[in-house]
Structure 1
Amino acid sequence: MNFDAFITCAVTGVGASTDKNPHVPVKPEQIAASAIAAAQAGAAIAHLHVRDPATGQGSRDVDLYAEVVRRIRASDTDIIINLTAGMGGDLVLGGVESPLPLNARGTDMVGAEERLAHVSALLPEICTLDCGSMNFAEGDYVMTNTPGMLRAMAKRVQALGVRPEIEVFDTGHLVLCKQLIREGLIDDPVMIQLCMGIPYGAPDDPQTLMAMVNNLPPGAVHSAFSIGRMQLPFVAMALLSGGNIRVGLEDNIWLSRGVPATNAQLVERAVTTATSMGARILGPEEVRAKLKLERRISEGLLA
């Protein structure tokens, strides 16, 4: 049991959820406001994607990230910025009989430098590193993160002085994570997010969670989450596993059956659950000390 835990709020993601919940933020000002509200509710870290304001689809636009970060940093509310670096590894095959050419709709494959362009420009305290490929949900979509790509991205993130959050979707991803550590590409303290219940990765049952926890690199700081209706029960599961908490509209859009959630409400529910279990919720400064984060604001960002 972790009695001193921090909460990450995954604010928006890129999934097709905007038509199901009006609170899913799309525009940069909405994403920033939702992150600030989550911080005020008790989140220490905001995990951020951006969306095309016109379509609601996921985007890698550096200017959109810059506007979100600028708005958060200009507020009076402190929260640690964690930018996704998962975009740009999306591969959609053409079909079961004709996998090539690739389906242009949904395929977004770019190089390591381009995948990290917003991280290089904005220098957040944390960015994600999805530590492996997998069949992600249904259809012909593959989340693609080859060992070569991950080595290049890890090396670049390390050079920037940004803490990688290693996102682990299955047990084999932990094997690759340990290899990157042995190669000196990930610095201590190692930060790992166990992503559970996502087809077709690790299921979100207690036995699988603990198998993954028992195979973490020594000394790693981990969080754990699941999606949909299992998100809130996983607040307790994460704490009992010795880890930290992630909630947010990226992973779950409901507060209860038929009741659309806000990010702040999901964080508030997590705080209530954790504190009722006897845990203390860490603030941003305590998390910075724990994770040895460099608090920086890119030159000119607030201009």
Structure 2
Amino acid sequence: MARIQDKVIISCAVTGSVHTPTMSPYLPLTPDQIAQQAIEAAEAGAAILHLHARDPRDGRPTADPKVFDQFVPRIKAATDAVINITTGGSTRMTLEERLAYPLLAKPEMCSLNMGSMNFSIHPLARKIAHWDHDWEQPYVEGMEDLIFRNTFRDIKNILKVLGDDCGTRFEFECYDVGHLYNLAHFVDEGLVSGPLFIQSIFGILGGLGADPENLFTMRTTADRLFGRDNYRFSVLGAGRHQMSLLTMGAVMGSNVRVGLEDSLYLGKGQLAQSSAEQVRKIRRILDELSLEVATPDEARAMLGLKGKDVVAF
């Protein structure tokens, strides 16, 4: 008998650390803007809100806990959504900086990149003639010579200090097939237990390309390594690949992630005016596919989260 497909968890990554203010006037930069867009995304149907912080003075990425504190508690008070704090930060942050707020907040969920990698959007700099802020051009161009670091020891440390000590569970961000094998290593070592939430990411330079065939590769590899019933699969398509790959993934039984961190657009040549617009679009697609969207509490049950009230914010 065929297994009945579970409800679909919609995650929304509201701002990230990759895009810069010049790239879109709708990218939220201040605590007020981030809080507003996150709350609107939750109201539109996002069960999980993936959050980064920006310096409100010029929009550059920041790991400052004081900035996070200006919007994270507000989002918690206004929504029932699962709050997911990045441990990725940006390629320019140290591990200590990236963990500073998560260790204070002890959230239900954090993102965790499953390996060191080249991660870059530097070719985009060639398309921009005028920048809004002095920091943006060297920030984007400089990605060509930077590596995002997450060594095995780094990951082991994060699993200990956030997972074991804080009860936080993880959105395991897998940018390539090797990242699935890295995750399997930690499962084999007894450092990670299910249900796993695997965010499979396509279309980032330095990671796996956005070819549809790669989605099958990641899904079948995860099946072999973990067993279909031991993990929850999710799909993130970067840039113009967002909606097409998410639709394909949903048909295959995956969960989905949208948001202005992942794509600035709603359609070809059309900037999204908010992350909520992308949430509403993917929700319409899911409705047309006769797939039900999970509520935040249903997502908590599916992922084994500790609960909204067992956090420190």
Of residues 68, 77, 80 in structure 2, which corresponds to 1:78? Answer: 80
Equivalents in 2 of 1:145, 1:172: separation in Å?
Answer: 13
Secondary structure of the residue aligned to 1:4 is coil
1:51–1:58 contact (8 Å) kept in structure 2: yes
Of residues 102, 107, 120 in structure 2, which corresponds to 1:124? Answer: 107
CA shift at 1:4, angstroms?
1.6
Secondary structure of the residue aligned to 2:206 is coil
Secondary structure of the residue aligned to 1:19 is helix
- Gapped runs of 5+ residues in structure 2? 123-143
Of residues 225, 234, 238 in structure 1, which corresponds to 2:236? Answer: 225
Pairs within 5 Å for 1:264-279:
264-279=276-291
Pairs within 5 Å for 1:194-273:
194-216=200-222, 217-218=226-227, 219-261=230-272, 262-273=274-285
Aligned residues: 281
Of residues 261, 275, 282 in structure 1, which corresponds to 2:294? Answer: 282
1:235–1:273 contact (8 Å) kept in structure 2: no
1:12–1:24 contact (8 Å) kept in structure 2: yes
Greater Cα shift, 62-71 or 243-252:
62-71
The amino acid of 1:214's aligned partner reads T
* 2:174 is the counterpart of 1:191: no
Equivalents in 2 of 1:117, 1:20: separation in Å?
Answer: 28
**Structure 1 or 2: more helix by fraction:** 2
The amino acid of 2:177's aligned partner reads T
Structure-2 change in CA distance of 1:195 and 1:300 (3 Å): closer
Structure-2 change in CA distance of 1:182 and 1:299 (3 Å): closer
User: C-alpha deviations, 1:18-61, integer Å up to 9, x for none?
Assistant: 22322211111211110110011111010001111112111111
Q: TM-score, normalised by structure 2?
A: 0.85
Report the counterpart of residue 70 of structure 2 in structure 1.
Answer: 67
CA shift at 1:134, angstroms?
1.2
1:8–1:246 contact (8 Å) kept in structure 2: yes
Q: Between the two proteins, what is the percent identity of the paired residues? A: 36
Equivalents in 2 of 1:201, 1:293: separation in Å?
Answer: 28
Report the counterpart of residue 152 of structure 1 in structure 2.
Answer: 157
CA RMSD of aligned residues (A): 1.7
Q: TM-score, normalised by structure 1?
A: 0.88
Secondary structure of the residue aligned to 2:153 is helix
Secondary structure of the residue aligned to 1:22 is coil
CA shift at 1:235, angstroms?
2.0
- Gapped runs of 5+ residues in structure 1? 91-106
2:82–2:296 contact (8 Å) kept in structure 1: yes
2:106–2:162 contact (8 Å) kept in structure 1: no
Equivalents in 2 of 1:87, 1:19: separation in Å?
Answer: 20
Secondary structure of the residue aligned to 2:245 is helix
Report the counterpart of residue 103 of structure 1 in structure 2.
Answer: none
Pairs within 5 Å for 1:156-171:
156-159=161-164, 160-171=166-177
